[in-house]
Amino acid sequence: ELVMTQSPGTLSVSPGERATLSCRASKSVSNNLAWYQQKPGQAPRLLIYGASTRATGVPARFSGSGSGTEFTLTISSLQSEDFAFYYCQQYENWPPSWTFGHGTKVEMK
Amino acid sequence: QVQLQESGPGLVKPSETLSLTCTVSGSSVNGGYYWGWIRQPPGKGLEWIASLYHSGTTYYNSALKSRVNISLDTSKNEFSLELKSVTAADTAVYFCARVDIVAAGFPFDSWGQGTLVTVSS
């Protein structure tokens, strides 16, 4: 069973600072990795897919990197609207399945 | 622009069946996408439940497979979820979503707003 581990659980950052979130897969997922942002009471929003491609309308301050088992989401300069939960999610080709990490909370320092 | 809307009872008794429907607008459920259900227990993370392809082929989370059934109704442009023998552990916000099969990694690119289902007598 594939396990996605996100770290840290909580990240305290000041506005304008860089935030770096990590996601590790228990086995290689190639570049089948997505990142989502979720604010309280809202549905998740797709930020990054294919490990590094920004979804439509996502600001350039969000970037994704990595492949295989180690992935990173970087927010270059945190804005007030970026304080939220972030989840990574992998896709396995066969049989098709999707697995989410447990999430990282980005909070204001 | 695609929109998804979940509907169904907000309260289900233990041991009964949870039934939800996702109504899709702005996209055809028969249009070559995967469609899926994801849930989120209060204060916890996201869990993929199941997905189905426009052909009707279904895929389930192995942890829930014995209790879950999803189906497509192309005439109504909607898809549905059934979860049998529910317990309090099935209390969650249930989201329906569309999978972008053109994008690498098949991400969920559009989501419904979610509906809270509470399992309680």
pLDDT in tens, chain A (109 residues): 889 999 999 999 999 999 999 999 999 999 999 999 999 999 999 999 999 999 999 999 999 999 999 999 999 999 999 999 999 999 998 889 999 999 999 999 9
> Rounded to 5 degrees, what are φ and ψ at B2?
-70, 140
How far off is chain A from B76, nearest CA to CA, in Å? 24
Count residue pairs from A and B with Cβ separation < 8 A: 78
pLDDT at B31: 85
Count Cβ neighbours within 10 Å for each residue of A59-86 and write b for 16 or more, e otherwise. Answer: eeebbbebeebebbbebeebeeebbbbb
Q: Do the beta carbons of residue A90 and residue A99 sit within 8 Å?
A: yes
Taking the C-alpha atoms of residue A36 and residue B36, their distance in angstroms, rounded to an integer, is: 16
Higher-pLDDT residue of B55, B65: B65
User: Across all residues in chain B, what is the average pLDDT?
Assistant: 96
What is the rounded CA–CA span in Å between residue B24 and residue B56? 16
A32: chain B residues, CB-CB within 8 Å = 104-106
**Which of B36, B105, B111 is facing A49, going by the closest CB pair?**
B105
Residues from chain A that touch B50, judged by Cβ atoms under 8 A, are none
Quick one: tokens of A46? 């797709």
What is the rounded average pLDDT of the residues B63-89?
97
Count CB atoms within 10 A of the CB of residue B74: 13
B75 bridge partner residues: none
**Alpha-carbon gap: B113 to the closest alpha carbon of chain A (Å):** 5
User: How confident is the model at residue A1, as a pLDDT?
Assistant: 81
**β strands within chain A, DSSP E:** 4-7, 10-13, 19-25, 33-38, 45-49, 53-54, 62-67, 70-75, 84-92, 97-100, 104-108
